[in-house]
Structure 1
Amino acid sequence: MKIKEMESRSGIDRATIRYYEKEGLFEPLRTDNGYREYSEKDLELLMKIKLLRSLHVTLDDIKSLIKGKTSLRDTVSSQTKFLDSEEENITYAKEMCRTIYKNEMNFEQLDAEKYLSEINRSAEESGSKYFQVKEELPMVYDPWRRFLARGFDLALYLTLWHAVLVKIFHVNVGERIGLIGYLDLIVIIIMMILIEPVLLHFFRTTPGKAIFGLRIENADENRLTYIEAFNRTWGVALKGLGLAIPLVSFITYWTSYDRMKNGEIQPWDEGISYRIKDRKIYRFVVFGLANVLLILVFSFVEFSYYVPPHKGDLTVEEFSENFNHYAKIYDMDFGNLYLDKNGSWQEIVKYDHRTSLLPDYLLPPVVRFRQKDGLVTGISFVVEVEETDLWIESNRNFMMLSSLALKGKNQSILQTDSDQAIIDEIWRKPFESFAIEAGGLLITNRIENSGYYDGHDYMRMDRGYDDYYFRQEFSVTITE
């Protein structure tokens, strides 16, 4: 017979019948085309299972009966003791167990239909629903597997969010701690609510669940509808994660763990079929490897913030964007000025007359570009000072940033040795002549000085000289 007839004759829905099959309580024959073919013996066995489940005998005990590991008399005797501790109306169930104990010698001879008829008649007279067999759906009561799967998914959403922050908004995610870090947590909860229902609807799983062989379906073993998946995910966010609200989330986490530990269904899993393919140890190895990979991707995303927005051949505008990018990374500012798309200095706020009164050598130097076919091949600036009592400011910040910005042509994710070589040389010798080749660049600094001494951050007039003169010519040329 087909499963539809089994449902009709047994009064058990197909989801529960298939669940009993998956639990190994019985196994129907399969036709050549793969369809199940149930026999009268299968129906008889199913009715026995229905009877025992009506008496609240556990599936494990029923399995032991079917496999011959325990006897019917021992099972119902044990069940009688269990029912004695129940506070609901179980008097009739106990009497039925005693009747079975008295009249039936073994499981094979049990006449399930006779006792079910008596139970149905008594239930109708009393109006009790105690003997109704609840629809049984597979459920995974494994807190560690489920929590680890959930944690992996949340870490994945966090990585995606950081990628958006870095690539689109150019934010340094390494500094997002405290309140900003908490706001990120709220965002990934929102991402989970939006993304997870789509994954469950189309794939019946999520990346974290897939690692542990977990799958979520409806009672008919079909994919959840989007609404069903959304409602489930919302339930997890609200009652499982506490919407990431401090203390509330701790309580919801603990309550969820306690439910699973006690074999209770989570409120968001009501009517849901939660299956597990297997519990093999290799899945924890896969989980570990997946976490290593995720950490590498997370690190890649975080370090990619330090890569300039433009690589390869650069226009003047792209050079300026790289320059301003590095200025933000290294927290170097030039007062009220920034480098615009034409490579010229512009004021961040409205005109400041105090800045206009400063000598040119106290302002960031004017950038000169060397170009070929509209692409920058090098930059340079010249500072020339004669007879002044004012300090001559170092241009080391501009020298470092312009070198790194032009080096963007060959930049990689991580800071390279050539980056550090450039920074160290310029930092140590802002007022000394030098020439270095690093990262595909030739960087030269030519100093002519008379009457000024090096104060590291500035040059200052040294009394006693007749001739005071300072000239700096700095250039960066692409050699590759």
Structure 2
Amino acid sequence: MTIGELEALLDMPRASIRFYEQEGFIHPKREANNYRDYSEEDADTLRKVKLLRQLGLSLEDIRQAQRGERPLAALLAEQEAALARQRADLDWAGQICHAMREDGVDFATLDAPRYLNRLNRPADQPGFFDLRSDAAPTVSHPWRRFFARSLDLGLCSLLWMAVCLFLFRWHPDNTWPIRLLNSYVAYGILLVLEPVLLCTWGYTPGKWIFGLAVRNPLGQKLTWGKAVDRTWGVFARGEGYGIPFYRLWRKYKCYRQCKDGEPEAWEEDTSYTIRDTRVRRCWGFVAARAALIGLSAFLALQSMLPIHRGPLTPEQYAANVNDMCRILDIQSYERMDAEGNWVDAPNSHVINLFGGSTPSHQLTVDEDGHVTGVCIEVEQLGGELVSGSTTQRSLAALAFAAAQRSYNGISWWSSGVLQAIESRRFDDYTLQAGDVTITQTVDVQGYDGLDGGNPLVLLPSEDGEAPYYHLVFTLEQTT
């Protein structure tokens, strides 16, 4: 029979059934799907345990009787004598209560020593027994457990984010399939890391913040095998294998079970304890979550720096440009060579319908073979429209100016260099980006649109003046 059927048959809490199994009183068989199959012998044994526990016998006494180490009659005689002593104690306590009530005592004027002397017996004698205490320790704080696991999963997501950004140089799209993929990778990392932490520390970072610990019934750290089984159990029964909607249903079911004080399916062979429920642990979680968000933002900004930093060779400069093109998903049909020229990318079959070519990056190299300057020059004669695209200028700034070791992701973003380049497409200006001076000069004749501020394109004017456009954008190492 299943545990649910056994629970109904014996009117015994499921947690107690599992507890008695852990204590070795019953030994159910395992079916092919790994579910327990309880026999009539198991049910009969549990009836005996239930009866003897209701009579107040200890688990060790019942275990000795089951093994035949001590006669049950002798154990019952000892318990009968103990119950007689308890009954006498309770009768005496009842008499004292009656006397105090007859004396008309109240709390303010109560003469405690007078009545304590009459009692003259310990105040911590055992009282009535409740079967619900026969259960492996568990934690009936579903929200604390949920937030602890969410923090652990967030840490795994952060690890995967770092791998994507810095190893693969991949910025995942915020689409539903990509989010689902990322969540499963994070689960995979957790399925490996959590068992390692449980069998070495006994807790994960999230559990540590909330004062939670996982142990075996003897209070020891889990073995590797038990830790793996537990983590997979959480993934399967608690997270619903990460399947959308089904995952929410499983979380609700587990929430109700935890709220009712029953251990979860993956806790059958483990104990779950909580040190305390102080409010400061919740604040610790808030601080940890804020730190996680801040670190994620920092990694995202840091990943936008070029792969080669410090003094650059022409090859490294070109590699920086090509890397930024891939990250930003631009110029996919061209690649920059070590001369600063754009060439067709391998297997590229794009046809330029608008004519013209992408401007080269003219590199200045010192005697040590390092790039000390970059120049982009665009000149147009005739009546074509002029694009205000700042793509090439931004690429040069990212590949050269942002490569200075004095910059990190935050300081480069806050420098406002890229924003200034974008907002001043047709202006003359000079910017200082660390030790790099950025200069732009623009000569425009015969075009309309400059009165509008920062236009995206310039159109030839109709006043008859010959259109002419000349832009020189330079970056120079000043020290």
2:435 pairs with 1:440? yes
Q: What SS does structure 1 have at the residue aligned with 2:416? A: helix
CA distance in 1, matches of 2:398, 2:57: 71
Give the deviation of 1:477 after TM superposition: 0.7
Residue 179 of structure 2 aligns to a residue whose secondary structure is helix
CA distance in 2, matches of 1:411, 1:141: 49
Superposition deviation, residue 153 in structure 1: 1.0
Return closer, same or farther for 1:135/1:402 CA change in 2, 3 Å cut-off.
same
Q: Return the offset for 1:337.
A: 2.0
Say if 2:169 and 2:327, in contact at 8 Å, map to a contact too: no
Residue 401 of structure 1 corresponds to 395
Match of 1:367 in 2: 361
1:299 to 297, 300, 322: 297
CA distance in 2, matches of 1:157, 1:309: 24
Q: Which residue of 2 aligns with 1:381?
A: 376
Structure 1: distance between partners of 2:380 and 2:176: 48
Question: Once the 2 structures are TM-superposed, how far is the Cα of residue 380 of structure 1 from its aligned partner?
Answer: 0.9
2:408 maps to 1:412: yes
Distance in 2 between the 1:58 and 1:328 partners? 73
1:344 aligns with one of 341, 344, 347: 341
**2:476 paired with 1:472:** no
Check 1:176–1:305 CA distance in 2 against 1; reply closer, same or farther (3 A cut): farther
Count of aligned residue pairs for this structure pair: 371
Q: Give the superposed CA RMSD.
A: 4.0
Instruction: Write the letter of the residue equivalent to 1:377.
Output: T
CA distance in 2, matches of 1:256, 1:187: 23
Contact 1:311–1:411 (Cα < 8 Å) also in 2:
no
| Inter-partner Cα distance in structure 2 for 1:417 and 1:137 | 53
Shift of 1:236: 0.7
- Note if contact 1:186-1:244 (Cα within 8 Å) is conserved in structure 2: yes
Superposition pairs of residues 327-338 of structure 1, within 5 angstroms? 327=325, 333-334=330-331, 336-338=333-335
| Amino acid corresponding to residue 170 of structure 2 in structure 1 | V
Cα distance change on mapping 1:205 and 1:341 into 2, 3 Å? farther
Identity within the alignment, %: 27
Tell me which residue corresponds to 1:424: 420
Q: What SS does the corresponding residue of 1:201 show, helix, strand or coil? A: helix
Q: Distance in 2 between matches of 1:194 and 1:209?
A: 16
Q: Contact conserved, 1:422 with 1:438, CA < 8 A, in 2?
A: no
Provide the rounded CA distance (Å) in 2 between the counterparts of 1:454 and 1:437: 28
Residue 448 of structure 1 deviates from its aligned partner by 4.3
3-state SS of 1:310 partner: coil
Going from structure 1 to structure 2, the CA distance change for 1:224 and 1:446 (only over 3 Å counts) comes to: same
- Which one is further off, 142-151 or 226-235? 142-151
Distance (Å, rounded) in 2 between the aligned partners of 1:261 and 1:463: 78
Asked if 1:169 corresponds to 2:165, the answer is: no
Equivalent in the alignment of 1:55? 54
> Which whole-Å CA distance do the structure 1 matches of 2:467 and 2:244 have between them?
66
Distance 1:53 1:321, change over 3 A: farther
Check whether the contact 1:419–1:439 (CA below 8 A) recurs between aligned residues. no
Unaligned runs of 5+ in 1: 1-11, 17-49, 63-95, 111-131
The answer (yes or no) to whether the contact 1:441–1:477 under 8 Å persists in 2 is yes
TM-score by length of structure 1 reads: 0.66
Q: What is the 5 A alignment of 1:151-300?
A: 151-173=150-172, 175-300=173-298
Question: Aligned pair in 2 of structure 1 residues 426, 149: CA closer, same or farther (>3 Å)?
Answer: closer
TM-score (structure 2 length as normaliser): 0.66
CA distance in 2, matches of 1:418, 1:287: 29
1: CA distance, partners of 2:430 / 2:179: 44
Q: C-alpha displacement at 1:139, in angstroms?
A: 2.6
Give the letter for the 1:443 counterpart.
I
Which residue identity lines up with residue 300 of structure 1 in the other structure? F
The verdict on how the C-alpha distance between 1:268 and 1:351 changes in structure 2, with shifts beyond 3 A counting, is closer
Contact kept in structure 2, 1:53 and 1:133, CA below 8 Å:
no
> Which stretch of the first structure deviates more once superposed, 156-165 or 440-449?
440-449
Structure 1 residue 398: Cα displacement: 1.0
SS in 1 for 2:213: strand
Please, which of 79, 86, 93 is the counterpart of residue 106 of structure 1?
86
Assess if the C-alpha contact under 8 Å between 1:384 and 1:470 holds in 2: yes
Equivalence for 1:311: 309
Name the amino acid aligned to 1:210: W
Q: Residue 91 of structure 1 aligns with which residue?
A: none
AA at the equivalent of 2:194: E
Higher mean C-alpha displacement, 364-373 vs 415-424: 415-424
Tell me, what secondary structure is at the counterpart of 1:414? helix
